[in-house]
Amino acid sequence: MVSAPEGIAGDLAEHAAQPPLALLRRWETSPRGLDEAEAERRQLAEAPPPARRRRRLSGTAAAPFVLVLAALGAVSALVGDLRGAALIGLLAVISGALRFGQERRTGRAAAELRALAGGTATVLRRAAAGGPSTPREVPAEQVVRGDLVVLHPGDVVPADLRLLASADLTVDQAVLTGESHPAGKHAAWTDPSGDRDAPADPFDDPRLCFAGTTVAGGTGTAVALATGAATYVGAAGRALPGAAPATTFDRGVRSLSWALAAVMLAAAPAALAVTGGLDGAPGGWPGALARALPLAVAVAVAATPEMLPLVVTALLVRGSAGLARRQVIVRRLPAVHNLGAMDTLCLDKTGTLTAERLSLDCHLDARGRPSAEVLRLARLNAHWSVELSGRLVGDAIDGALLEGADGDPTGPEGTAALPFDYARRRATVVLGGRLLVTKGAVEDVLARCALDAAERARLTALADRWAAGGVRLLAVATAERRLARALSAADERDLRFAGFVGFRDRLVPVAAPALADLARLGVRPVMVTGDHPLVARRICRDAGLPAARVVHGGELAALDDARIAALAAGGAAFARVGPAGKARIVRALRASGRTVGYLGDGVNDVPALRAADVGISVTGAAGPAREAAGVVLAHRDLRVLAEAVRTGRRTFAGTVRYLKIALTSNVGNVASMLAAAALLPFLPMLPLQVLVQNMCFDVAQLALVRDRVDEGDLAAPRTFDRRDLARFVACFGPIGAVFDLAAFGLFWLVLHVHGDVAGQALFHTGWFAENLLAMGVALLLLRGRGRGAPRPPWPVVAAAAALALTGLLVPFSPLAGLLGLRALPLAALPLLAAALAGYVLATLAARRLYQRAFGRWL
């Protein structure tokens, strides 16, 4: 079980403690329910405000990468390069559209929380004030505060309710509490100890039912205390941030985008510096700016991988398609990367590690020895309590007892039954008219047995030892008596203790090997559950998880985030943790530098699913849990998680490969462009030419989506490492710049390029061709470490060849005039070959040295 938020808990405790008539007066209703006009008025008053799309649009427009492209387009338009401005603007719109398409999904979790109940509900309403009430079936979202709700088996509770009347009502609260057993609910409640105060936890109060839970059996009538966002489920939705917190992927892309923005801002001062500054320039500072701004735009364009969103999205889409083939549904594309970066997996147990049914574990006599007779008596009790009570099915305990039986249990026929209820916590049947068999909670049954204090203490201690091992025991007792009247609770006295039957949650068979596979990939599992600490410890043991200590949810308030993260890293499990506590554990781990995944399927898991870098759920999970998750497993098979992690790492390796190759080439271009601008009386290359060159390169790099990945890059979690990226660029970027400048010198000396218009166009063409040839070579040489790395597949080889041919053929195509290029003379080809050969040899040598020095390529 879990604890509700303090404000909600206080209100619920107050409502539960009030007498029914006083509660009805408070909500201005009556035992006959609301009239239709009043219900409609309340529904209008409680309707949630519509979501605002404008806020999402403004957040998309403020994305750093979109701002970089928009600024470049604006400056290009100012310097008269309208074609370049239009092209950059189109890229900015595409980038923003891709981001908006992802961001608009983030608000759906709160909407799903409001509509959790779904379907319909039965309410008592009057057609007019003073008229008779009749049961009406209405859409669940139309239930309002003060409505009288009628509950039947299978109903989803549409609101937070306070029971007014009930009959054998049980409610499955697993989506909120993680408890696998249905909870008994009844309108009149008195604690067995005589304490009439409400339980500390509202979920323990049998008078309260919560929105989103399911009626397992029995019937009830209740008044609606809270609906929609005001319910406990709604409070979980309000606790979520307006948008999901930034994940590892988001932070990596954002830091890269702001770094590119910084380069763009530094372009203008750098351009002024190489063009001679403001002083002494022809025409004064306006003339200096007129010369520096085109260079600044060209430098900024050269430094910016304009198609970064498209390339990264293509890589993520390919990764998600691979996961879909493995029955893993990706709801948010960045989750593909975050799966690969994940180094900690927090997981709830119910529905993920354990099945949603109990299994019979043991049947013992009073000495703790296996006893077939005790099992026979327990099965007879289960069978006849269902048959004689008129119920279609028994509860989870009865189902587990009867599941292994071969047909009906053998024994005398049942003649009377007193079904289980949560006030008595036991069920009794009479067999053959004289044998009374009682089965129920250990303490309740022992209290009605003819035992001395020492024997009762011994049996209680025996039950506690089994409970410490995660086995839930029920006691079985008998009595011989003939009844002259109907069976009643008064007949459950002076019983003879027979033994125990024990049950445990079923561990999913694949759970232990799946978690072991994740551990081999460097992913640490951490149990975070709302269930009992002893159950949590036993599940950890069975699943092979570390459980050096089980931390109770009540202890979290006294711990700071650093201590919580240290406990999780030290192998602690967390039990009796509520939704807010689960989310806090996830946030504490993230604050300690971990990349955290969370696996859960209940409404109580929603805040943690949203707080994690990647939320993981299953198709059978509660709607809000599926909506809050970035990844949904189509089947409850945890074995696919390990393969999903590997797929995420392959996708990340492709992303890093693209970034390293693109930024290395771009940085080399920037350095050579600034150096050439300081030596030449004209721009080394026009902004539009640089932009088209970069776009050709980025389109070619889309082939990296099909590239192979070294298995060594999948062995450990990886995420964006700015130091590694900067180190790679610093090692290989200058090589490209040196051979760019060598090519410039050859063009100037051999081709006799001068400052006239024709000479400038020839120089631009030579550099355009040389750059694309070098980029094609870089695509092949920088994708892997060389010897021992997987060979490039044919799409990558074809893309590199196409890039080189583009550099050679575009100057002879109709596009040449549009781009300001001209056909190269044949004398330029040996120059290009010489510069390219030097670049290849230098890059191969640097690659070998880099591998020896750092040992890791991607």
Active site residues: 348
CA pair distance 518, 353, nearest whole angstrom: 14
* Backbone dihedral angles phi then psi of residue 687, each to the nearest 5 degrees: -55, -40
850: Cβ–Cβ under 8 A, 6 or more apart, which residues?
Answer: 728, 731, 732, 857
Considering just the CA atoms, what is the radius of gyration of the chain in Å? 35
> Going by DSSP bridges, is the β-strand pair 214-226/148-151 parallel, antiparallel, or unpaired?
antiparallel
Alpha-carbon distance of 265 to 143, in angstroms, equals 57
- Distance CA(34)–CA(680), nearest Å, equals 86
Please say whether the dihedral angle defined by the alpha carbons of residues 747, 751, 755 and 758, taken in this order, is positive or negative.
negative
DSSP characters for 319-365?
Answer: HHHHHHHTTEEESSTHHHHHHHH--EEEE--BTTTEEEEEEEEEEEE
Task: Give the helix ranges, DSSP H, for 437-549.
Answer: 442-446, 453-468, 511-520, 533-543
Tokens 């201690």 -> residue? 461
Note whether 235 and 35 are within 8 A (CB).
Answer: no
What sign results for the dihedral spanned by CA atoms 454, 458, 463, 467?
positive
Roughly what angle, to the nearest 10 degrees, separates helices 722-750 and 757-781?
140
Instruction: Report the C-alpha dihedral over residues 647, 652, 658, 663, rounded to 10 degrees.
Output: 180
Give the whole-angstrom CA distance, residue 550 versus residue 412.
46
- Phi, psi dihedral angles at 785 (to 5 degrees): -80, -5
Distance of CA 565 to the CA centre of its chain: 19
Q: Half-sphere exposure (CA, 13 Å, Cβ side) for 606? A: 31
Exposed / middle / buried, residue 469 (Cβ in 10 Å: 0-12, 13-18, 19+):
middle
Count of CA atoms in the C-beta half-sphere (13 A) of 695? 11
Q: How far is CA 501 from the centre of its chain?
A: 39
User: How far apart are the C-alpha atoms of 354 and 601, rounded to whole Å?
Assistant: 12
Please state, in angstroms and rounded to a whole number, the distance separating the CA atoms of residues 609 and 579. 10
Give the number of residues written for the chain.
858
Integer CA distances (angstroms), 37 to 28, 42, 264, in order = 13, 9, 63
